[in-house]
Chain A
Amino acid sequence: MQVEELVIGMAGKGGDGVVTAGDVLASGAASEGLNCFMLKSFGPQIRGGESSCRIRISTEQITSQGDRIDILVVLSWEDYAKFAAEFVLKDGVVVLCEEKDEYLTKGIPVDERSLSTLYRIPFIQITKEKVGSQLVKNMVLIGILCGLFGFSKEAMVRGIAKKFGRKKETMELNLKGLNAGYEYAVGLKKTDPIEFSYVPSRPNMILDGNEAIAYGALYAGCRFFAGYPITPASEIMEWLSRELPKFDGVMVQAEDEIAAAGMCIGASFAGVKAMTATSGPGLSLMSEMIGLSSMAEIPLVIVDVQRVGPATGIPTKSEQSDLQQALYGTHGDANRVVLAPSDVEDCFDVTVEAFYISEKYQLPVIILSDQFIGHRKESIKMVELMEHNGFTKRFERIHPSIEELKDYKRYRFTEAGVSPMSSPGIKGGQYTAVGIEHDEYGCVVSTADNHESMNKKRFDKCHRIREEFHFIRKYGPEDAPLGVIAWGSSKGAVKEAVLRANEEGIKVSALVPQIIHPLPFKKFEEFFRPLKKAIIVELSYSAQFLKYLRSHFHLPFEQITCKRSGAKALSVEEVLTQIHKAAE
Chain B
Amino acid sequence: MTVQYSPLDYRNDVKPVWCVGCGHFGVLNAVYQALATLQLPPENVALVSGIGCSSRLPGYVRTYGFNALHGRVLPIALGVKLARPETVVIGITGDGDALSIGMGHYPHAARRNIDITLIMMDNGIYGLTKGQVSPTLTEGEITKTTIYGNIDHPIDAVRFALGCQTSLIARSTSLDPKHMAEMIVRGIKHRGFSLVHVLSPCVTFRGREQYNWIREHTEPLPESHNPEDFRSALDAAYREDKLYTGLIYQEERDDYGSRVSALCERSQSKGILTLEELARQFLI
Contact = CB atoms under 8 A, between A and B. Distances in A.
Contacts of A268: 79, 83
Contacts of B42: 430
Interface stretch (A173-181, A432-440, A556-564): A432-440
Contact of A259 (B43, B67, B75): B75
B194 interface: no
Contacts of A380: 282
A226 interface: yes
Contacts of A255: 104-105, 108
B249 to A, nearest CB: 23
A530 interface: no
B267 A246 contact: yes
B66 A433 contact: yes
Interface in A114-130: none
B89 to A, nearest CB: 9
A289 B17 CA distance: 25
Contacts of A267: 79-80, 82-83
B79 A226 contact: yes
Given A245-B267, A430-B63, A432-B65, A203 B283 contact: yes
A385 B44 CA distance: 40
A488 interface: no
B24 interface: no
Interface stretch (B138-146, B221-229, B273-281): B273-281
Interface stretch (A90-98, A205-213, A514-522, A567-575): A205-213
A81 interface: no
Interface in A271-289: 271-272, 274, 288-289
B213 to A, nearest CB: 31
A428 interface: yes
A248 to B, nearest CB: 5
B276 A292 contact: no
A443 interface: yes
A9 interface: no
B83 A159 contact: no
Given A256-B104, A430-B64, A386 B276 contact: yes
A258 B75 contact: yes
A7 to B, nearest CB: 22
A477 B267 CA distance: 51
Nearest to B79: A266
Contact of B282 (A206, A219, A223, A443): A206
A206 B79 CA distance: 33
B98 to A, nearest CB: 14
B129 interface: no
A550 interface: no
A250 B83 contact: yes
A292 B80 contact: no
Contacts of B266: 245
Interface extent on B, as a size class?
35 or more
Nearest to B260: A250
A243 B86 CA distance: 24
Contacts of A262: 68-69, 72, 75-76, 79
B79 A264 contact: yes
A424 B68 contact: no
A340 interface: no
A263 B66 CA distance: 13
Nearest to B41: A427
A153 interface: no
B82 A432 contact: no
A247 B273 CA distance: 8
Interface string B120-164: 000000000000000000000000000000000000000000000
Nearest to B284: A31
A269 B76 contact: yes
Interface in A193-225: 203-207, 211, 215, 218-219, 223-224
A233 interface: no
Contacts of A215: 278-279, 282
Given A250-B260, A274-B83, A431-B65, A219 B59 contact: no
Interface in A471-530: none
A436 B47 CA distance: 16
Contact of A432 (B59, B69, B77, B83): B59
Contacts of A430: 42-43, 62-65
A252 B59 CA distance: 29
A270 interface: yes
A329 interface: no
A428 B79 contact: no
A158 B284 contact: yes
A322 to B, nearest CB: 22
Nearest to A262: B75
A261 B284 CA distance: 35
A216 to B, nearest CB: 11
Interface in B49-81: 51, 56, 58-59, 62-69, 72, 74-81
B264 interface: yes
Interface string A41-65: 0000000000000000000000000
A162 interface: yes
Given A246-B268, A430-B63, A288 B69 contact: yes
A425 interface: yes
B102 to A, nearest CB: 10
A437 to B, nearest CB: 11
Scoring A249, A259, A268 by chain B CB atoms within 10 A of each residue's CB, the highest score goes to A259
Interface in A67-85: none
B46 A265 contact: no
A62 to B, nearest CB: 18
Contacts of A392: none
Given A31-B284, A159-B284, A255-B108, A269 B58 contact: no
A434 B65 CA distance: 8
Contacts of A248: 264
A508 B34 CA distance: 71
B46 A424 contact: yes
A429 interface: yes
A242 B279 CA distance: 14
A27 interface: yes
Contacts of A242: 267
A264 B82 CA distance: 10
Interface of A: 27-28, 30-31, 158-159, 161-162, 203-207, 211, 215, 218-219, 223-224, 226, 242-243, 245-250, 252, 254-256, 258-272, 274, 288-289, 292, 296, 380, 382, 385-386, 423-436, 442-444
Across the A-B interface, the 7 shortest Cβ-Cβ residue pairs: A266-B79, A262-B75, A432-B65, A245-B267, A267-B83, A270-B83, A266-B76
24 contacts: A28-B284, A30-B284, A158-B284, A162-B284, A205-B283, A206-B284, A207-B282, A223-B83, A224-B79, A243-B278, A245-B268, A249-B264, A250-B82, A252-B78, A258-B75, A259-B105, A266-B77, A269-B79, A270-B83, A292-B72, A425-B84, A430-B64, A432-B47, A443-B59
